[in-house]
Amino acid sequence: MDFTCRQQPKGVCAVRGDSQKVFREGKFRKPKMSRRARKDTLAFIGFTAPNFILLGVFVFWPIVYSLFLSFFKWNMIAPKKTFIGVDNYVSLFNDPVFWQITRNTLSLAVFTVLFKLGIALSLSIQLNRKPKGGSLYRAIIFSPTFTTSVAVAMVWTWIFEPTYGLFRFLFRAVGVTSPDWIHNVHWALPAVIIVLVWSGIGYDMVLFLAGLKNIPQDIYDAALVDGVTPWQNFIHITFPLLSPTTFFLTVTSFIGALKAFDIISIMTDGGPLNSSNVYVLYLYQNAFQWFKTGYASALALILFLLIMVVTLVQNRLSRRWVHY
Amino acid sequence: MKRYVLVLLIALLALGTTAVWAGAAAEQAPEGPVKIVYWRSLTGVAGEVQEELVARFNASQEKVIVESQFQGAYAEILQKLLAALAAGELPDVVLLDSPFVALFAKDGALVSLDQFVKKDKTGFDLDDYIPGLIQDGYYDGSLYAMPVMRSTPLLYVNGDMLVEAGLPRRAPKTWDEFREFSKKVSKYNAAGEPIQLGAGFTMGQTSAHWYFQGAVYSFGGLVSDEQFNIHLTEEPAVKLATLWQDMVFKDKTAMPSNSHDDFLNRKVAMVFGSTGSMGNLLSRADFDVIPAFMPGQVQNLVPVGGSVLAMTSTDKFRQDAAWEFMKYMTSAEANSEIVIKTGYMPVSKSSMNYPATVAYYETNPVRKVAVDQLQFTRPQASVISLGKGTEILRQMIEKLLIGNMDPKKVMEETSADLLKEYNDSFK
């Protein structure tokens, strides 16, 4: 045994293979850790390990590996990966399509969140007044939440169809020609936003309803005594007291919109001319359709930073308007 | 007590490793039939016929057992193959979209078939395959893939609509005639909105480039040659691009189309389609469908599409088994079955002369157009095998037919993009 312990009063002794032992008064003793504490530690490790291993394998390791790949050129087939430094990042910032899809993604996120939350909030306020058949409406409005996104995308593709689609008849009724939504450079992104808003309203509305139910009735009663208008009621009572829900939904909806993929992939596949292409779809295309693993990894890192910054900013801003 | 546990653990571990070694040793000398895995694509009739052929092959001999696994569309097979390569858990035989042979062969993911052809003593003859169909199985002088479900682009024409417009009941022979026919067929309402148009141009990443290639060939041009020289800025390609664009924006007799439904709903009188769609279109249309050659301008020449079989197994015995299976799948008997069930093209002379095939064409003369077109085929443009090749061509077609941008400039941009992609990913 490698014994390199210096004779020091109460010094810690380094014995290879048994560093836990402490040299005290010329005698080796185990550090004070009761049987029970050790058992607890083991139990802790035992219970958390499965989770940590799964997270490690399926979340942390891919993140690290993707960061690593972003400095390489690799098509997933070749046995060799070529190190190219920050070239992926350089060509990314010089790629006009990258800026186009970033703009698309941000405007998609902003408009989706605005319309979705606005409509969901007004619907939930209406439903909170317990109109006749309210639960039926609630069920109908909630139904897109549990509808498969593929089915949603397919049905909406037909609704947008310029010759037979439902929208054509609605537009006709007001005397306007319906644009060819999905094949038009200017209308493809709005079409996608409409679908995302429609399919997201239900979930937000239910959360808003729960938030509304938590506002104590006596505040409204007191306000009624003071003779407030419904608008004042909303601005000074409902909205501030609902702000935690609104904040939560803003953050999650925004992140969700930044990650929009399935509906767009099926409806437009990003076209025409990338006018409805968004970040995650472009990332997917690069990685799995065009075999540009390194480039896609660089995109992923930028998206990670983007989401982080947006969330931090939202958090900071929230201090001004969210009341817990 | 603890020591016993430790000893036991070590013993167990040792046992485990020996088992692994034993397993490895066993692989060197297989006993009984060799099991191989086949990754297939395509659904509907085209999928069923593969299952049926696998079952027949398994029943016909005792040395090889093939397990057929459905892996999704062509694009999904590609992605799963990439994942399999990364994991080192490869299937033995895969069905590949033909342009991707070069992509995988280049980096050594496919097994060269030359050695198997050479040592095969069963009278196997490569010359039996139709030259235009085996040609794109080669990469760098070696054979990597064999033709199975091959198709060519066709023009499908609504005969009734042509006759209503006072035209003969036949497909246009040249692109000029195609334009004339479209003008005659188109009808508009009082508001100037189209009720029916002459033609629908296929959009999207999957096949838009394929029909475009065919049209460029017919004008006597090329998209790119085998050395990756790009010919899009030359006259034939520019002329064709201008013609298509003018039909959409000047004549207003054609439109970009995403689906054959536009044809089946009589929105357009003519669409492009694969020979593989013939069965589907003929059975679903409630009007007279005429499958015809793509219009020729200076010549009839089309790019071959569809799928090929490639070998990916890493073990020698499995490779031999895979070879036997690939031979069966492309044999006259199996191929004739595919032709009859799906409308894909016969891939060999012996399959074309196989009694069942001959009888089939006698009873269904309209489907013979696929065979007639066989002599006018060449492989697809080399740039299709670049990872982003089809996407760049899709963008080109969108720029032309949706963006209404100057054809010459579009061709220059597209050539530059393709060249950049080649330098970036293939060289």
Q: Render B221-280 in DSSP notation, one character per residue.
A: --SB-TT--B-TTSHHHHHHHHHHHHHHHTS--EEEES-THHHHTTSEEEEEEEGGGHHH
Do the Cβ atoms of B403 and A273 come within 8 Å? yes
Q: Is residue A222 part of a domain?
A: yes
Confidence band, pLDDT 50/70/90 cuts, at residue A30: low
Going by pLDDT thresholds of 50, 70 and 90, the confidence category of residue B17 is very low
| A28 — pLDDT class (breaks 50, 70, 90) | low
pLDDT band at B30 (very low <50, low <70, confident <90, very high): low
Percent of all residues in chain A with a pLDDT value above 90, rounded to a whole number:
59
Are A24 and A125 part of one and the same domain? no
Mean pLDDT of A123-143: 90
* B32-151+305-376 and B153-303+386-425 agree in CATH topology: yes
* CA of residue A74 relative to chain centroid, distance: 28
Residues of chain A found within 8 Å of residue B267, distances taken between Cβ atoms: 163
The whole-number average pLDDT for the span A165-185 is: 84
Over 70: is that where the pLDDT of B24 sits?
no
pLDDT given for residue B28 in this prediction: 53
> Do A123 and A13 share a structural domain?
no
Question: How many domains is chain A built from?
Answer: 2
Beta bridge partners of B38: B68, B93
Q: What is the CATH number of the domain that holds A276?
A: 1.10.3720.10
Q: Looking up tokens 């297989």, which residue turns up?
A: B30
How far is the C-alpha of A293 from the C-alpha of A273, rounded, in Å? 23
Tell me, yes or no, whether A39 lies in a domain: no
Q: Rounded mean pLDDT of B80-95? A: 90
What does the pLDDT read at residue B410?
96
Chain A closest-CA separation from residue B194 CA (Å): 9
Q: Which residues of A touch B205 (CB under 8 A)?
A: 269, 289
- The average pLDDT across A7-30 equals 50
Please give the CATH architecture assigned to the domain spanning B32-151+305-376: 3-Layer(aba) Sandwich (3.40)
- Residue A161 binned pLDDT confidence (cut-offs 50, 70, 90): confident
pLDDT of B9 above 70 = no
ipTM topping 0.85: no
Domain residue spans in chain B? 32-151+305-376, 153-303+386-425
- Of A15-24, A219-228, B265-274, B390-399, where does mean pLDDT reach its minimum? A15-24
State whether B398 and A75 contact (CB < 8 Å): no
Which pLDDT belongs to residue A294?
A: 93
Give B261's pLDDT tier (boundaries 50, 70, 90). Answer: confident
Closest CA relative to residue B277, chosen from B265, B263, B287, B297: B263
Cα–Cα dist A243/A250, whole Å: 10
User: Which of A75, A163, A273 shows the shortest C-beta gap to B402?
Assistant: A273
Kindly tell me if the per-residue pLDDT of B172 is higher than 70: yes
pLDDT given at position A25 = 53
Which one is predicted more confidently, B72 or B161? B161
Look at B79 and A288 and tell me if their CB atoms are within 8 Å: yes
Q: Examine the domain organization and report whether A171 and A283 are in the same domain.
A: yes
Chain A residues in contact with B109 (beta carbon < 8 A): 77
Which residue has 């799928």 as its token pair? B307
Identify the pLDDT of residue B284: 87
- The number of angstroms, rounded, from the C-alpha of B222 to the middle of its chain's C-alpha atoms is 19
Residue B215 clears pLDDT 90, i.e. is over it? yes
Domain of A27 in residue numbering reads as 1-32
User: pLDDT tens, B394-425?
Assistant: 999 999 999 999 999 999 999 999 999 999 88
Distance from CA of B427 to the nearest CA of A (A): 12
- Residue A144 in contact with residue A199, Cβ under 8 Å? yes
Over residues A251-264, mean pLDDT: 92
Compare all CA atoms of chain B with the CA of A74 and give the residue at the minimum distance.
B425
| pLDDT over 90 at B159, yes or no | yes
How far is B233 from chain A, CA to nearest CA, in Å? 20
User: For chain A, what is the largest distance between any 2 Cα atoms, rounded to a whole number of angstroms?
Assistant: 99
CB-based contact (8 Å) between A314 and chain B? no
Inter-chain CB pairs, A–B, below 8 Å: 64
What would the mean pLDDT of A73-77 be, rounded to a whole number? 86
* Residue in the structure block whose two tokens are 């506002």: A215
Chain B positions touching A185 (Cβ under 8 A) are 402-403
A142-156, B21-35, B59-73, B118-132, range with the lowest pLDDT: B21-35
pTM equals 0.81
The answer to whether A183 faces chain B, any CB pair under 8 Å, is yes
Mutate to test the interface with B, among A66, A76, A154 (most CBs of B within 10 A): A76
Q: Which fold has domain B153-303+386-425?
A: D-Maltodextrin-Binding Protein; domain 2 (3.40.190)
Q: Please list every residue in chain B whose beta carbon sits closer than 8 Å to the beta carbon of residue A90.
A: none
Per the prediction, chain A carries an average pLDDT of: 87
Contacts of A276 in chain B (CB under 8 A): none
Distance separating alpha carbons of residues B289 and B347, to the nearest angstrom: 25
Judgement on whether residues A95 and A160 belong to the same structural domain of the protein:
yes
Q: CB-based contact (8 Å) between A291 and chain B? A: yes
CB contact under 8 A, B82 and A185: no
Within-domain flag for A41: no
Residues A17, A110: one domain? no
Residue B33 above 50 pLDDT? yes
Is there a domain that residue A2 lies in?
yes
Question: For A278-303, what is each residue's pLDDT tens digit?
Answer: 999 999 999 988 889 999 999 999 99
Task: Write the CA distances from A255 to A246, A248, A250, A312, B167, integer angstroms.
Answer: 14, 11, 8, 12, 57
Q: How many CA atoms lie within 13 A of B234 on its CB side?
A: 13
In this complex, do B398 and A77 lie within 8 Å of one another by their Cβ atoms? Answer: no
Reading the block at residue A255, the tokens are 């992140």
Q: Are residues A245 and A117 in the same domain?
A: yes
Q: What is the pLDDT of residues B357-397, one digit of tens each?
A: 999 999 988 888 888 888 888 889 989 888 889 899 999 99
- Return all residues near B112 (Cβ < 8 A) that are at least 6 apart: B105, B142, B143, B144
Nearest to B75 among A182, A184, A289 (CB): A289
Q: What is the C-alpha to C-alpha distance for residues A272 and A256, in angstroms, rounded to an integer?
A: 23
Question: In this structure, are A4 and A102 located in the same domain?
Answer: no
Tell me which chain B residues have a C-beta less than 8 angstroms from the C-beta of A274.
Answer: 395
Check if the beta carbon of residue A256 is closer than 8 Å to that of residue A226: no
pLDDT band (50, 70, 90) for residue B222: very high
Q: What is the mean pLDDT of residues A17-38?
A: 62
Search chain A and give the residue with CA nearest B85: A77
Residue to test with chain B: of A178, A187, A290, A297, most B Cβ within 10 A: A290
Q: What is the Cα A203 distance to its own chain's centre?
A: 15
Report chain B residues touching chain A, CB-CB < 8 A: 75, 79, 82, 85-86, 103-104, 106-109, 191, 193, 203-205, 256, 258, 265, 267, 387-388, 391, 394-395, 398-399, 402-403, 425
Cβ-contact A223, A295 below 8 angstroms = no
Task: Read off the pLDDT band of B128 (50, 70, 90).
Answer: very high
- What are the b/e assignments for B196-221, b being 16+ CB within 10 Å? bbbbbbbbbbebbbbbbbbbbbbbbb
CB contacts of B399 in chain A (<8 Å) are: 273
Give mean pLDDT, residues B293-299.
92
Of the candidates B107, B108, B402, the beta carbon closest to that of A272 is on B402
Task: Please provide the average confidence, as pLDDT, over all residues in chain B.
Answer: 88
Lowest-pLDDT choice from A15-29, A194-208, A225-239: A15-29
